[in-house]
Structure 1
Amino acid sequence: MAGFKTNSTIASCGGKLLKLNHESKVLKSAMDVNVFLPPAAVDGKKKVPVLFFLSGLTCTPQNCSEKGFFQSAAAQHGIAIVYPDTSPRGSDHPGENDSWDFGSGAGFYINATEKPWSDNYNMYDYVVSELPEALFEEFPQLDADRVSITGHSMGGHGALTLFLRNPGKYKSVSAFSPISNPINAPWGIKAFSGYFGEQNKAKWAEHDATELIKKYSGPSPEILIDVGTGDQFYKDKQLLPENLVEAANDSANYKGKVNLRLQPDYDHSYYFISSFAKDHVEHAAKYLL
Protein backbone atom coordinates (compact mmCIF):
# COMPACT_ATOMS: atom_id res chain seq x y z
CA MET A 1 0.00 0.00 0.00
CA ALA A 2 1.40 3.36 -0.99
CA GLY A 3 0.05 5.60 1.77
CA PHE A 4 -0.58 3.20 4.63
CA LYS A 5 1.49 0.50 6.27
CA THR A 6 -0.56 -2.50 7.42
CA ASN A 7 0.67 -3.57 10.85
CA SER A 8 -1.85 -6.40 11.16
CA THR A 9 -5.02 -7.81 9.63
CA ILE A 10 -7.47 -9.41 12.05
CA ALA A 11 -10.57 -11.43 11.19
CA SER A 12 -13.56 -9.89 12.96
CA CYS A 13 -17.29 -10.61 12.59
CA GLY A 14 -16.82 -12.02 9.10
CA GLY A 15 -14.84 -8.98 7.97
CA LYS A 16 -11.32 -7.68 8.48
CA LEU A 17 -9.95 -5.19 11.01
CA LEU A 18 -6.91 -3.46 9.52
CA LYS A 19 -4.42 -1.87 11.91
CA LEU A 20 -2.73 0.80 9.82
CA ASN A 21 -0.06 3.48 10.18
CA HIS A 22 0.66 6.47 7.96
CA GLU A 23 2.45 9.80 7.95
CA SER A 24 0.23 12.83 8.53
CA LYS A 25 1.39 16.12 7.05
CA VAL A 26 -1.03 18.27 9.06
CA LEU A 27 -0.04 16.61 12.35
CA LYS A 28 3.65 16.15 11.46
CA SER A 29 3.39 12.73 13.05
CA ALA A 30 3.14 9.06 12.24
CA MET A 31 -0.44 8.10 13.04
CA ASP A 32 -2.17 4.82 13.79
CA VAL A 33 -5.69 4.25 12.48
CA ASN A 34 -7.85 1.13 12.53
CA VAL A 35 -10.31 0.34 9.75
CA PHE A 36 -12.97 -2.35 9.89
CA LEU A 37 -14.05 -3.66 6.50
CA PRO A 38 -17.36 -5.55 6.65
CA PRO A 39 -17.63 -8.84 4.74
CA ALA A 40 -19.11 -7.11 1.69
CA ALA A 41 -16.03 -4.88 1.35
CA VAL A 42 -13.18 -7.29 2.03
CA ASP A 43 -12.62 -8.19 -1.63
CA GLY A 44 -12.79 -4.52 -2.65
CA LYS A 45 -15.49 -5.07 -5.27
CA LYS A 46 -18.41 -3.34 -3.53
CA LYS A 47 -18.59 0.19 -2.17
CA VAL A 48 -19.80 0.44 1.43
CA PRO A 49 -20.71 3.43 3.61
CA VAL A 50 -18.38 4.57 6.38
CA LEU A 51 -18.88 5.41 10.05
CA PHE A 52 -16.11 7.35 11.80
CA PHE A 53 -15.76 6.71 15.54
CA LEU A 54 -13.90 9.45 17.45
CA SER A 55 -12.46 8.28 20.77
CA GLY A 56 -12.15 10.11 24.07
CA LEU A 57 -9.37 11.36 26.30
CA THR A 58 -6.29 9.09 26.61
CA CYS A 59 -7.59 6.67 23.96
CA THR A 60 -5.96 5.26 20.83
CA PRO A 61 -7.50 3.45 17.84
CA GLN A 62 -7.23 0.22 19.79
CA ASN A 63 -9.71 1.01 22.57
CA CYS A 64 -13.01 1.04 20.73
CA SER A 65 -12.03 -1.43 18.01
CA GLU A 66 -11.20 -3.98 20.74
CA LYS A 67 -13.82 -3.14 23.39
CA GLY A 68 -16.62 -1.17 21.72
CA PHE A 69 -18.44 -4.09 20.04
CA PHE A 70 -19.20 -2.06 16.91
CA GLN A 71 -17.99 -4.59 14.35
CA SER A 72 -20.85 -7.09 14.75
CA ALA A 73 -23.60 -4.60 13.93
CA ALA A 74 -21.48 -2.92 11.27
CA ALA A 75 -20.92 -6.28 9.57
CA GLN A 76 -24.65 -6.99 9.54
CA HIS A 77 -25.40 -3.65 7.89
CA GLY A 78 -22.39 -3.62 5.57
CA ILE A 79 -20.82 -0.50 7.09
CA ALA A 80 -17.08 0.16 7.40
CA ILE A 81 -15.79 1.78 10.59
CA VAL A 82 -12.78 4.08 10.90
CA TYR A 83 -11.13 4.50 14.29
CA PRO A 84 -8.67 7.44 14.22
CA ASP A 85 -6.23 8.34 16.99
CA THR A 86 -6.96 11.23 19.37
CA SER A 87 -3.89 13.47 18.97
CA PRO A 88 -0.48 13.74 17.34
CA ARG A 89 2.13 11.47 18.90
CA GLY A 90 5.69 12.15 20.03
CA SER A 91 5.74 15.90 19.45
CA ASP A 92 7.72 16.53 22.66
CA HIS A 93 6.17 19.91 23.35
CA PRO A 94 6.85 21.14 26.90
CA GLY A 95 4.02 19.87 29.11
CA GLU A 96 2.60 17.62 26.42
CA ASN A 97 2.60 14.56 28.68
CA ASP A 98 2.02 16.27 32.03
CA SER A 99 -1.71 15.59 32.30
CA TRP A 100 -4.17 13.11 30.86
CA ASP A 101 -6.72 15.72 29.75
CA PHE A 102 -4.45 18.03 27.73
CA GLY A 103 -1.74 17.37 25.16
CA SER A 104 -0.97 13.83 24.11
CA GLY A 105 -4.17 11.79 23.80
CA ALA A 106 -6.27 14.95 24.14
CA GLY A 107 -6.32 16.71 20.78
CA PHE A 108 -10.00 17.75 21.14
CA TYR A 109 -10.55 17.63 17.37
CA ILE A 110 -9.61 21.28 16.86
CA ASN A 111 -6.86 23.21 15.08
CA ALA A 112 -4.82 24.89 17.80
CA THR A 113 -3.89 28.56 17.40
CA GLU A 114 -1.49 28.93 20.35
CA LYS A 115 2.19 28.01 20.16
CA PRO A 116 3.61 25.38 20.35
CA TRP A 117 0.38 23.46 19.81
CA SER A 118 -0.43 25.24 16.55
CA ASP A 119 2.63 23.62 14.97
CA ASN A 120 0.88 20.28 14.71
CA TYR A 121 -2.22 19.93 16.91
CA ASN A 122 -4.55 20.08 13.92
CA MET A 123 -6.89 17.19 14.61
CA TYR A 124 -9.80 19.02 12.97
CA ASP A 125 -8.06 19.15 9.59
CA TYR A 126 -6.83 15.60 10.06
CA VAL A 127 -10.22 14.01 10.72
CA VAL A 128 -12.29 16.22 8.40
CA SER A 129 -9.95 16.22 5.41
CA GLU A 130 -6.56 14.54 5.42
CA LEU A 131 -7.41 11.12 6.83
CA PRO A 132 -10.65 10.48 4.89
CA GLU A 133 -9.13 11.69 1.63
CA ALA A 134 -6.18 9.33 2.09
CA LEU A 135 -8.43 6.41 3.01
CA PHE A 136 -10.84 6.94 0.13
CA GLU A 137 -7.91 7.02 -2.29
CA GLU A 138 -6.32 3.90 -0.80
CA PHE A 139 -9.52 1.89 -0.34
CA PRO A 140 -11.87 2.35 -3.32
CA GLN A 141 -14.51 0.22 -1.58
CA LEU A 142 -15.07 3.03 0.95
CA ASP A 143 -17.87 5.27 -0.32
CA ALA A 144 -16.87 8.91 0.12
CA ASP A 145 -20.45 10.01 -0.53
CA ARG A 146 -21.92 8.04 2.39
CA VAL A 147 -20.17 8.98 5.62
CA SER A 148 -21.49 9.33 9.18
CA ILE A 149 -19.79 10.12 12.45
CA THR A 150 -20.06 9.17 16.11
CA GLY A 151 -17.83 9.33 19.17
CA HIS A 152 -17.39 9.11 22.92
CA SER A 153 -16.71 11.85 25.48
CA MET A 154 -14.08 14.15 23.90
CA GLY A 155 -14.84 12.20 20.71
CA GLY A 156 -18.55 12.84 21.18
CA HIS A 157 -17.68 16.54 21.31
CA GLY A 158 -15.67 16.02 18.13
CA ALA A 159 -18.46 14.16 16.34
CA LEU A 160 -21.06 16.81 17.17
CA THR A 161 -18.89 19.79 16.29
CA LEU A 162 -17.55 18.31 13.05
CA PHE A 163 -21.10 17.52 11.98
CA LEU A 164 -22.43 20.97 12.86
CA ARG A 165 -19.48 22.82 11.30
CA ASN A 166 -19.76 20.92 8.00
CA PRO A 167 -23.45 20.80 6.98
CA GLY A 168 -24.12 17.93 4.63
CA LYS A 169 -20.68 16.31 4.91
CA TYR A 170 -21.90 13.61 7.29
CA LYS A 171 -25.20 11.82 6.75
CA SER A 172 -25.79 11.46 10.51
CA VAL A 173 -24.23 12.02 13.91
CA SER A 174 -24.54 10.38 17.31
CA ALA A 175 -22.55 10.46 20.53
CA PHE A 176 -21.86 8.63 23.77
CA SER A 177 -21.38 10.86 26.82
CA PRO A 178 -20.28 13.87 24.75
CA ILE A 179 -18.69 17.00 26.17
CA SER A 180 -21.65 18.94 24.84
CA ASN A 181 -20.92 22.46 26.10
CA PRO A 182 -17.12 22.65 26.54
CA ILE A 183 -16.95 26.40 27.07
CA ASN A 184 -18.77 25.78 30.37
CA ALA A 185 -17.09 22.50 31.36
CA PRO A 186 -13.74 22.10 33.20
CA TRP A 187 -12.27 19.83 30.51
CA GLY A 188 -13.21 22.22 27.74
CA ILE A 189 -12.05 25.34 29.58
CA LYS A 190 -8.64 23.76 30.20
CA ALA A 191 -8.26 22.53 26.63
CA PHE A 192 -9.50 25.67 24.90
CA SER A 193 -7.41 27.93 27.15
CA GLY A 194 -4.31 26.00 26.15
CA TYR A 195 -5.03 25.47 22.48
CA PHE A 196 -6.78 28.78 21.68
CA GLY A 197 -5.71 31.14 24.47
CA GLU A 198 -7.72 32.22 27.48
CA GLN A 199 -9.08 35.37 25.84
CA ASN A 200 -10.07 33.97 22.46
CA LYS A 201 -13.63 33.14 23.46
CA ALA A 202 -14.95 33.57 19.92
CA LYS A 203 -12.73 30.68 18.82
CA TRP A 204 -13.94 28.61 21.78
CA ALA A 205 -17.55 29.03 20.63
CA GLU A 206 -16.65 27.80 17.15
CA HIS A 207 -15.95 24.39 18.68
CA ASP A 208 -18.85 24.11 21.12
CA ALA A 209 -21.82 22.03 19.97
CA THR A 210 -24.26 23.93 22.17
CA GLU A 211 -23.23 27.22 20.56
CA LEU A 212 -23.05 25.79 17.04
CA ILE A 213 -26.50 24.21 17.04
CA LYS A 214 -28.14 27.57 17.81
CA LYS A 215 -27.25 28.86 14.35
CA TYR A 216 -26.90 25.64 12.40
CA SER A 217 -28.38 25.65 8.91
CA GLY A 218 -28.31 22.48 6.85
CA PRO A 219 -29.61 18.91 6.77
CA SER A 220 -30.94 17.97 10.18
CA PRO A 221 -31.08 14.23 10.82
CA GLU A 222 -32.03 13.25 14.36
CA ILE A 223 -29.09 13.34 16.75
CA LEU A 224 -28.83 10.36 19.09
CA ILE A 225 -27.03 10.89 22.41
CA ASP A 226 -26.63 8.31 25.18
CA VAL A 227 -25.41 9.28 28.66
CA GLY A 228 -25.23 7.05 31.72
CA THR A 229 -26.79 8.36 34.92
CA GLY A 230 -24.01 6.65 36.88
CA ASP A 231 -21.33 8.51 34.92
CA GLN A 232 -19.27 10.53 37.41
CA PHE A 233 -18.28 12.99 34.71
CA TYR A 234 -21.96 13.61 33.98
CA LYS A 235 -22.53 14.23 37.69
CA ASP A 236 -19.51 16.57 37.80
CA LYS A 237 -20.92 18.76 35.00
CA GLN A 238 -18.25 17.86 32.46
CA LEU A 239 -20.76 16.72 29.82
CA LEU A 240 -23.78 19.06 30.09
CA PRO A 241 -25.95 17.35 27.43
CA GLU A 242 -29.10 19.10 28.65
CA ASN A 243 -27.55 22.40 27.58
CA LEU A 244 -27.31 21.08 24.03
CA VAL A 245 -30.93 19.88 24.08
CA GLU A 246 -32.12 23.26 25.36
CA ALA A 247 -30.16 25.11 22.67
CA ALA A 248 -31.49 22.75 19.99
CA ASN A 249 -35.07 23.36 21.06
CA ASP A 250 -34.49 27.09 20.65
CA SER A 251 -33.04 26.65 17.16
CA ALA A 252 -34.81 26.67 13.82
CA ASN A 253 -33.39 23.39 12.52
CA TYR A 254 -33.12 21.11 15.52
CA LYS A 255 -36.15 21.72 17.70
CA GLY A 256 -37.20 18.34 19.12
CA LYS A 257 -34.61 16.44 17.08
CA VAL A 258 -31.92 15.75 19.70
CA ASN A 259 -32.76 12.41 21.28
CA LEU A 260 -30.99 12.42 24.66
CA ARG A 261 -31.33 9.05 26.37
CA LEU A 262 -30.26 8.92 30.00
CA GLN A 263 -29.35 5.29 30.62
CA PRO A 264 -29.89 4.28 34.28
CA ASP A 265 -26.74 3.37 36.23
CA TYR A 266 -24.32 3.20 33.28
CA ASP A 267 -20.90 4.80 33.70
CA HIS A 268 -18.41 6.42 31.29
CA SER A 269 -16.59 3.23 30.31
CA TYR A 270 -16.53 0.83 27.38
CA TYR A 271 -19.02 -1.34 29.27
CA PHE A 272 -21.44 1.51 28.54
CA ILE A 273 -20.35 2.02 24.94
CA SER A 274 -20.52 -1.69 24.11
CA SER A 275 -24.02 -1.92 25.57
CA PHE A 276 -25.42 0.61 23.08
CA ALA A 277 -23.02 0.33 20.13
CA LYS A 278 -25.62 -1.56 18.10
CA ASP A 279 -28.12 1.29 18.52
CA HIS A 280 -25.62 3.81 17.20
CA VAL A 281 -24.68 1.70 14.19
CA GLU A 282 -28.38 1.29 13.42
CA HIS A 283 -28.89 5.03 13.83
CA ALA A 284 -26.18 5.64 11.23
CA ALA A 285 -27.57 2.91 8.98
CA LYS A 286 -30.92 4.74 8.71
CA TYR A 287 -29.15 7.55 6.90
CA LEU A 288 -26.34 5.66 5.14
CA LEU A 289 -28.19 2.79 3.50
Structure 2
Amino acid sequence: MIVFYGAKDDYAVTKHVQQLQVAFPDMRVAEFSEMVDLSEIALNERLYLVAHGNPRNGDLLVYQDPNNPQDLRDMTREQLLEWLTRRNLPKKFAGGIAILSCYGGLQRGQRYPASLASYIADGLAGHVAADTLVTGAKGYTYGTPEYQLSGFCSVLPISLDSLYSPHSDPDTKVRQWLSHTPTHKNGILSDVLDTVATNKTISQQLQETGKTEEESSGTARKLVLDFTFEAQGIEEKLKDLIKDEITEGNTVIDRVNYMLNNRKDKSVTAWNRAIVNQYILYHNYYLWAPEVAAFAVFAVK
Protein backbone atom coordinates (compact mmCIF):
# COMPACT_ATOMS: atom_id res chain seq x y z
CA MET A 1 0.00 0.00 0.00
CA ILE A 2 1.15 3.54 -0.74
CA VAL A 3 0.46 6.35 1.74
CA PHE A 4 1.68 9.84 0.87
CA TYR A 5 1.74 13.48 1.85
CA GLY A 6 1.82 15.86 -1.10
CA ALA A 7 0.13 18.87 -2.66
CA LYS A 8 -1.27 18.50 -6.17
CA ASP A 9 1.62 20.49 -7.72
CA ASP A 10 4.35 18.67 -5.79
CA TYR A 11 6.32 17.12 -8.63
CA ALA A 12 8.67 15.13 -6.37
CA VAL A 13 5.92 13.35 -4.42
CA THR A 14 3.89 12.87 -7.61
CA LYS A 15 6.88 11.16 -9.25
CA HIS A 16 7.14 8.68 -6.38
CA VAL A 17 3.44 7.85 -6.37
CA GLN A 18 3.25 7.55 -10.15
CA GLN A 19 6.35 5.37 -10.47
CA LEU A 20 5.14 3.15 -7.62
CA GLN A 21 1.79 2.77 -9.39
CA VAL A 22 3.55 1.84 -12.63
CA ALA A 23 5.52 -0.83 -10.77
CA PHE A 24 2.59 -2.01 -8.63
CA PRO A 25 -0.63 -1.18 -10.52
CA ASP A 26 -2.89 -3.08 -8.11
CA MET A 27 -1.54 -1.42 -4.97
CA ARG A 28 -3.91 0.83 -3.01
CA VAL A 29 -3.02 4.52 -2.65
CA ALA A 30 -4.13 6.86 0.13
CA GLU A 31 -3.17 10.24 1.51
CA PHE A 32 -1.97 10.47 5.12
CA SER A 33 -5.04 11.13 7.29
CA GLU A 34 -6.94 9.83 10.27
CA MET A 35 -9.25 8.06 7.82
CA VAL A 36 -6.61 5.61 6.57
CA ASP A 37 -7.28 2.03 7.69
CA LEU A 38 -4.41 -0.44 7.31
CA SER A 39 -6.35 -3.43 8.63
CA GLU A 40 -6.84 -4.91 5.15
CA ILE A 41 -3.21 -4.70 4.08
CA ALA A 42 -1.86 -8.11 3.07
CA LEU A 43 0.44 -9.58 5.70
CA ASN A 44 3.31 -9.76 3.19
CA GLU A 45 2.55 -6.48 1.38
CA ARG A 46 5.04 -3.64 1.73
CA LEU A 47 3.79 -0.32 3.10
CA TYR A 48 5.34 2.64 1.29
CA LEU A 49 5.36 6.01 3.06
CA VAL A 50 5.98 8.93 0.68
CA ALA A 51 6.71 12.46 1.93
CA HIS A 52 9.44 15.05 2.09
CA GLY A 53 12.15 14.72 4.72
CA ASN A 54 13.42 17.34 7.15
CA PRO A 55 17.20 17.80 6.71
CA ARG A 56 17.52 18.93 10.34
CA ASN A 57 16.23 15.76 11.99
CA GLY A 58 15.19 13.25 9.32
CA ASP A 59 11.50 13.41 10.27
CA LEU A 60 8.74 13.81 7.70
CA LEU A 61 7.62 17.17 6.39
CA VAL A 62 3.92 17.56 5.68
CA TYR A 63 1.67 20.28 4.31
CA GLN A 64 -0.19 22.49 6.72
CA ASP A 65 -2.00 23.93 3.71
CA PRO A 66 -2.33 21.35 0.88
CA ASN A 67 -2.67 24.18 -1.64
CA ASN A 68 0.59 25.83 -0.60
CA PRO A 69 3.70 23.74 -1.43
CA GLN A 70 5.83 26.07 0.71
CA ASP A 71 3.76 25.63 3.88
CA LEU A 72 5.56 22.60 5.33
CA ARG A 73 5.79 21.53 8.96
CA ASP A 74 7.17 18.55 10.83
CA MET A 75 5.31 15.33 11.31
CA THR A 76 7.52 14.23 14.17
CA ARG A 77 8.63 10.64 14.52
CA GLU A 78 6.51 10.41 17.63
CA GLN A 79 3.46 11.49 15.64
CA LEU A 80 4.29 9.08 12.81
CA LEU A 81 4.68 6.16 15.21
CA GLU A 82 1.40 7.04 16.91
CA TRP A 83 -0.30 7.29 13.51
CA LEU A 84 1.00 3.84 12.51
CA THR A 85 -0.02 2.17 15.75
CA ARG A 86 -3.56 3.59 15.46
CA ARG A 87 -4.12 2.53 11.86
CA ASN A 88 -5.01 -1.10 12.67
CA LEU A 89 -1.93 -2.73 11.20
CA PRO A 90 -2.42 -6.48 11.66
CA LYS A 91 -0.37 -7.99 14.49
CA LYS A 92 1.02 -10.52 12.02
CA PHE A 93 1.96 -7.90 9.44
CA ALA A 94 5.45 -8.69 8.13
CA GLY A 95 5.53 -7.05 4.69
CA GLY A 96 7.89 -4.27 5.71
CA ILE A 97 7.69 -0.49 5.76
CA ALA A 98 9.66 1.63 3.29
CA ILE A 99 10.09 5.26 4.37
CA LEU A 100 10.75 7.05 1.08
CA SER A 101 11.47 10.53 2.42
CA CYS A 102 14.96 11.97 2.13
CA TYR A 103 17.21 11.19 5.13
CA GLY A 104 14.85 8.55 6.61
CA GLY A 105 17.72 6.13 7.21
CA LEU A 106 20.18 8.71 8.54
CA GLN A 107 20.78 10.08 12.02
CA ARG A 108 20.32 13.85 11.71
CA GLY A 109 20.86 16.56 14.29
CA GLN A 110 21.48 16.31 18.03
CA ARG A 111 17.97 15.63 19.34
CA TYR A 112 17.74 12.01 18.21
CA PRO A 113 20.48 9.37 18.53
CA ALA A 114 18.96 7.23 15.77
CA SER A 115 17.37 7.56 12.34
CA LEU A 116 13.65 7.83 11.71
CA ALA A 117 13.55 4.28 10.31
CA SER A 118 15.34 2.91 13.38
CA TYR A 119 12.97 4.75 15.72
CA ILE A 120 9.89 3.40 13.92
CA ALA A 121 11.27 -0.16 13.95
CA ASP A 122 11.87 0.04 17.70
CA GLY A 123 8.45 1.57 18.35
CA LEU A 124 6.53 -1.05 16.39
CA ALA A 125 7.68 -3.90 18.64
CA GLY A 126 4.55 -5.73 19.76
CA HIS A 127 2.40 -4.04 17.11
CA VAL A 128 3.55 -6.05 14.08
CA ALA A 129 5.42 -9.31 13.55
CA ALA A 130 8.96 -9.56 14.88
CA ASP A 131 11.66 -9.17 12.20
CA THR A 132 9.44 -6.94 10.05
CA LEU A 133 11.88 -4.68 8.18
CA VAL A 134 11.71 -0.88 8.26
CA THR A 135 13.78 0.76 5.53
CA GLY A 136 14.97 4.37 5.31
CA ALA A 137 16.99 6.17 2.65
CA LYS A 138 20.55 7.26 3.34
CA GLY A 139 20.31 10.31 1.13
CA TYR A 140 18.00 12.02 -1.34
CA THR A 141 15.17 9.97 -2.82
CA TYR A 142 13.90 10.10 -6.40
CA GLY A 143 10.83 8.47 -7.91
CA THR A 144 12.25 6.63 -10.90
CA PRO A 145 11.81 3.41 -12.93
CA GLU A 146 14.05 1.77 -10.30
CA TYR A 147 10.81 0.80 -8.54
CA GLN A 148 10.15 -1.64 -11.38
CA LEU A 149 13.56 -3.29 -10.90
CA SER A 150 14.12 -3.43 -7.14
CA GLY A 151 10.88 -2.29 -5.56
CA PHE A 152 12.68 0.74 -4.14
CA CYS A 153 13.39 4.27 -5.31
CA SER A 154 16.70 5.69 -6.51
CA VAL A 155 18.89 7.40 -3.91
CA LEU A 156 21.56 10.08 -4.29
CA PRO A 157 23.97 9.50 -1.38
CA ILE A 158 24.48 12.22 1.19
CA SER A 159 28.19 12.33 0.27
CA LEU A 160 27.11 13.91 -3.03
CA ASP A 161 24.68 16.39 -1.49
CA SER A 162 26.00 19.32 -3.53
CA LEU A 163 24.82 17.61 -6.71
CA TYR A 164 21.28 17.55 -5.37
CA SER A 165 20.86 21.28 -5.88
CA PRO A 166 21.77 23.07 -9.14
CA HIS A 167 22.56 26.16 -7.07
CA SER A 168 25.25 24.55 -4.88
CA ASP A 169 28.83 25.82 -5.02
CA PRO A 170 30.47 24.50 -8.25
CA ASP A 171 33.79 23.87 -6.51
CA THR A 172 32.07 21.67 -3.94
CA LYS A 173 30.30 19.75 -6.69
CA VAL A 174 33.62 19.08 -8.45
CA ARG A 175 35.39 18.10 -5.23
CA GLN A 176 32.66 15.67 -4.18
CA TRP A 177 32.42 14.09 -7.61
CA LEU A 178 36.19 13.64 -7.89
CA SER A 179 36.17 11.90 -4.50
CA HIS A 180 33.37 9.58 -5.61
CA THR A 181 33.95 6.01 -6.81
CA PRO A 182 32.09 4.95 -9.97
CA THR A 183 29.27 2.48 -9.33
CA HIS A 184 29.56 0.72 -12.70
CA LYS A 185 32.03 0.34 -15.58
CA ASN A 186 30.23 2.37 -18.23
CA GLY A 187 28.91 5.89 -18.05
CA ILE A 188 30.30 9.34 -18.77
CA LEU A 189 33.94 8.45 -18.07
CA SER A 190 33.96 5.84 -20.85
CA ASP A 191 34.86 8.66 -23.23
CA VAL A 192 37.82 9.70 -21.05
CA LEU A 193 39.21 6.44 -19.65
CA ASP A 194 40.15 3.16 -21.34
CA THR A 195 38.46 1.29 -18.50
CA VAL A 196 36.24 2.63 -15.75
CA ALA A 197 37.16 1.03 -12.42
CA THR A 198 34.73 0.58 -9.54
CA ASN A 199 37.43 0.38 -6.86
CA LYS A 200 39.14 3.75 -7.37
CA THR A 201 37.91 7.31 -7.08
CA ILE A 202 37.26 9.39 -10.18
CA SER A 203 40.21 11.61 -9.19
CA GLN A 204 42.58 8.65 -8.97
CA GLN A 205 41.50 7.32 -12.34
CA LEU A 206 41.85 10.65 -14.11
CA GLN A 207 45.34 11.17 -12.70
CA GLU A 208 46.35 7.67 -13.81
CA THR A 209 45.84 8.83 -17.40
CA GLY A 210 48.75 11.21 -16.87
CA LYS A 211 46.66 14.25 -16.04
CA THR A 212 47.87 16.56 -13.33
CA GLU A 213 45.59 17.26 -10.36
CA GLU A 214 44.72 20.60 -11.95
CA GLU A 215 43.94 18.97 -15.31
CA SER A 216 41.82 16.31 -13.61
CA SER A 217 39.88 19.02 -11.82
CA GLY A 218 39.34 20.82 -15.12
CA THR A 219 38.00 17.68 -16.81
CA ALA A 220 35.69 17.00 -13.87
CA ARG A 221 34.50 20.61 -13.81
CA LYS A 222 33.36 20.48 -17.43
CA LEU A 223 31.53 17.19 -16.88
CA VAL A 224 29.89 18.37 -13.67
CA LEU A 225 28.79 21.67 -15.25
CA ASP A 226 27.27 19.71 -18.14
CA PHE A 227 25.46 17.50 -15.64
CA THR A 228 24.18 20.48 -13.64
CA PHE A 229 22.80 22.17 -16.74
CA GLU A 230 21.00 19.03 -17.93
CA ALA A 231 19.74 18.05 -14.47
CA GLN A 232 18.34 21.52 -13.84
CA GLY A 233 16.58 21.49 -17.21
CA ILE A 234 14.89 18.16 -16.41
CA GLU A 235 13.78 19.33 -12.97
CA GLU A 236 12.34 22.57 -14.34
CA LYS A 237 10.53 20.62 -17.06
CA LEU A 238 8.88 18.36 -14.47
CA LYS A 239 7.86 21.33 -12.31
CA ASP A 240 6.37 23.16 -15.29
CA LEU A 241 4.46 20.10 -16.49
CA ILE A 242 2.78 19.37 -13.16
CA LYS A 243 2.00 23.03 -12.53
CA ASP A 244 0.85 24.22 -15.95
CA GLU A 245 -0.02 21.25 -18.19
CA ILE A 246 -1.00 18.12 -16.24
CA THR A 247 -3.65 19.94 -14.25
CA GLU A 248 -6.54 17.47 -14.24
CA GLY A 249 -7.83 16.95 -10.69
CA ASN A 250 -7.14 18.56 -7.33
CA THR A 251 -4.98 15.88 -5.68
CA VAL A 252 -1.86 13.85 -6.35
CA ILE A 253 -4.05 10.78 -6.79
CA ASP A 254 -6.12 12.57 -9.45
CA ARG A 255 -3.00 13.65 -11.33
CA VAL A 256 -1.45 10.18 -11.18
CA ASN A 257 -4.65 8.49 -12.33
CA TYR A 258 -4.78 10.85 -15.28
CA MET A 259 -1.19 10.01 -16.20
CA LEU A 260 -1.79 6.28 -15.96
CA ASN A 261 -4.96 6.43 -18.06
CA ASN A 262 -3.70 8.90 -20.68
CA ARG A 263 -0.19 7.77 -21.49
CA LYS A 264 -0.36 9.06 -25.07
CA ASP A 265 -1.23 12.59 -23.93
CA LYS A 266 1.56 14.91 -25.08
CA SER A 267 2.19 16.32 -21.60
CA VAL A 268 2.14 12.86 -19.97
CA THR A 269 4.59 11.58 -22.59
CA ALA A 270 6.88 14.54 -21.85
CA TRP A 271 6.61 13.85 -18.10
CA ASN A 272 7.50 10.18 -18.51
CA ARG A 273 10.36 11.00 -20.86
CA ALA A 274 11.80 13.51 -18.38
CA ILE A 275 11.74 10.92 -15.57
CA VAL A 276 13.56 8.38 -17.75
CA ASN A 277 16.08 10.99 -18.85
CA GLN A 278 16.78 11.92 -15.22
CA TYR A 279 17.20 8.27 -14.28
CA ILE A 280 19.68 7.69 -17.12
CA LEU A 281 21.57 10.95 -16.55
CA TYR A 282 22.24 10.22 -12.88
CA HIS A 283 23.20 6.65 -13.75
CA ASN A 284 25.68 7.85 -16.37
CA TYR A 285 27.35 10.05 -13.75
CA TYR A 286 27.45 7.17 -11.19
CA LEU A 287 25.22 9.08 -8.79
CA TRP A 288 22.71 6.39 -7.80
CA ALA A 289 23.82 4.58 -4.67
CA PRO A 290 23.79 0.77 -4.92
CA GLU A 291 20.85 -0.67 -2.97
CA VAL A 292 23.06 -1.95 -0.15
CA ALA A 293 24.42 1.58 0.37
CA ALA A 294 21.22 3.46 -0.46
CA PHE A 295 19.11 2.23 2.45
CA ALA A 296 19.44 1.49 6.14
CA VAL A 297 17.33 -1.48 7.22
CA PHE A 298 16.11 -2.15 10.76
CA ALA A 299 14.19 -5.15 12.06
CA VAL A 300 11.31 -4.88 14.50
CA LYS A 301 12.15 -6.71 17.71
TM-score (norm: length of structure 1): 0.31
Larger radius of gyration: 2
If each structure's helix is expressed as a fraction of its own residues, which one has the higher value?
Answer: 2
Q: Which has the higher contact order (CA 8 A, sep 6+)?
A: 2
